[in-house]
């Protein structure tokens, strides 16, 4: 076929973008106006402190001198070669693991009990939940009196059984367990309430079907209750680890990290370096490391959740 007999090629039609309607523009402006304050607050109080801590971690500064002296990675070298840092990190991880695991186990057990028709259930729930809204200072002071070896409340209960008093606060072997016990006691109520909310959302028809199939209470828990509570358990695990890794106020008042740093944790160690010894650059390096640890544990938990969390 000759080129003259070919039909002319028509150009493709141009697609014009539909301009935004007046309502879409108004919705976009409204969305921007409502979200801008949140982004501004996040930038000022979250993102900027993170980047500024990263910046300060490369300097030697005492928060008083007007000039900062650049020292590169020296703060990180000192940190990783400091035996106190490794002791504090080990204490933090041990405390976090014990607090989260034991607190979840006790809270779930209490939630299963409170989910039944018990007389005075609301009163018991209020008593268990009361430490959650009690100030940390009051909690630490009360427990400091309870654990006092000479005239504390625990000594009064141990005396009739002939048990020798334990100096929980000033003992190198018992100070960290004392902190763990207090942190577990404080957080049980909150976790119990969240577990109760999860139990209320489980359809009762599933338990009826299990009863027809002849499952016993243990099978009912492992094959119905716990799988359907796995999203709640995952949420409490994430928030529990973050809260435990950031523990400060109760430890500061109860033991102040002593004796000999046996109950010291990363946040308290960071506070001491920043505001007691004025090592701002070193404290910034500690803050950045704590941020990395929290992010790493959260990402690992998110990855592992695909194996056991059922939505």
Burial 193-220 (b: 16+ CB within 10 A, else e): bbbbebbeeeeeeeeeebeeeebeeeee
- Residue-level pLDDT at 134: 85
Q: Which residues of 276-311 are buried (b: 16+ CB within 10 A; e: fewer)?
A: eeebbbbbbbbbbbbeebbeebeeeeeeebeeebee
User: Which neighbouring-strand residues pair with 69?
Assistant: 60
pLDDT along the chain (311 residues), means of 10: 57 57 83 89 89 91 85 92 93 94 94 85 86 87 87 80 80 90 92 91 84 83 87 92 91 88 92 90 92 91 84 73
pTM of this prediction? 0.83
What pLDDT, on a 0 to 100 scale, did the predictor assign at position 128? Answer: 87
How confident is the model at residue 226, as a pLDDT? 87
* Domains of the chain, start order: 83-308 (1.10.3720.10)
User: Minimal CA–CA distance to 191: which of 109, 248, 262?
Assistant: 109
pLDDT at residue 98 in the model: 94
CB count, 10 Å around CB of 15?
A: 6
> φ and ψ at 229, to 5 degrees?
-90, 0
Give the pLDDT score at 257.
86
Whether 121 contacts 114, CB under 8 Å: yes
Residues near 87 by Cβ (< 8 Å), separated by ≥ 6? 261, 262, 264
Torsion 264-270-271-274 (CA) sign: positive
According to the model, what pLDDT value does residue 270 have?
Answer: 93
Q: Determine the straight-line distance between the first and last CA of the chain, rounded to whole angstroms.
A: 65
DSSP letter string over 123-186?
Answer: HHHHHHHGGGGS-HHHHHHHHHHHT-TTT-HHHHHHGGGTPPP--TTT-TTTHHHHHHHHHHHH
pLDDT at 176 (0 to 100): 92
Size (the chain), residues: 311
Residue with tokens 């090629």: 9
Coil/strand/helix, residue 60? strand
Amino acid 16: pLDDT: 54
């Amino acid at each position: 076929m000759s080129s003259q007999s070919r039909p002319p090629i028509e150009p493709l039609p141009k697609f014009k973008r539909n301009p935004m309607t007046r309502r879409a523009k108004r919705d976009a402006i409204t969305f921007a106006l409502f979200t801008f304050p949140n982004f501004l607050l996040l930038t000022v109080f979250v993102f900027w402190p993170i980047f500024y801590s990263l910046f300060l971690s490369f300097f030697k500064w005492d928060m008083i001198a007007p000039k900062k002296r650049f020292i590169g990675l020296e703060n990180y070298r000192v940190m990783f070669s400091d035996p106190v840092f490794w002791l504090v990190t080990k204490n933090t991880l041990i405390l976090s693991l014990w607090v989260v695991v034991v607190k979840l186990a006790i809270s779930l057990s209490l939630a299963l009990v409170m989910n039944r028709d018990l007389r005075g259930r609301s009163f018991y729930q209020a008593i268990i939940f009361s430490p959650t809204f009690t100030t940390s200072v009051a909690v630490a002071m009360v427990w400091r009196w309870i654990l006092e070896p000479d005239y504390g409340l625990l000594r009064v209960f141990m005396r009739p059984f002939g048990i020798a008093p334990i100096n929980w606060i000033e003992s190198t072997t018992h100070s960290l367990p004392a902190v763990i016990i207090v942190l577990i006691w404080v957080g049980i109520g909150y976790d119990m309430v969240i577990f109760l909310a999860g139990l209320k959302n489980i359809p009762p028809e599933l338990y009826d079907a299990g009863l027809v199939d002849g499952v016993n209470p243990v099978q009912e828990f492992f094959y119905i209750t716990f799988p359907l509570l796995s999203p709640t358990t995952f949420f409490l695990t994430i928030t529990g680890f973050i809260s435990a890794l950031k523990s400060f106020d109760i430890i500061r008042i109860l033991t102040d990290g002593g004796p000999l740093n046996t109950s010291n944790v990363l946040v308290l160690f960071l506070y001491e370096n920043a505001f007691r010894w004025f090592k701002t650059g070193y404290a910034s390096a500690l803050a950045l490391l704590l941020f990395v640890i929290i992010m790493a544990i959260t990402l690992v938990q998110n990855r592992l959740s695909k194996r056991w969390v059922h939505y």
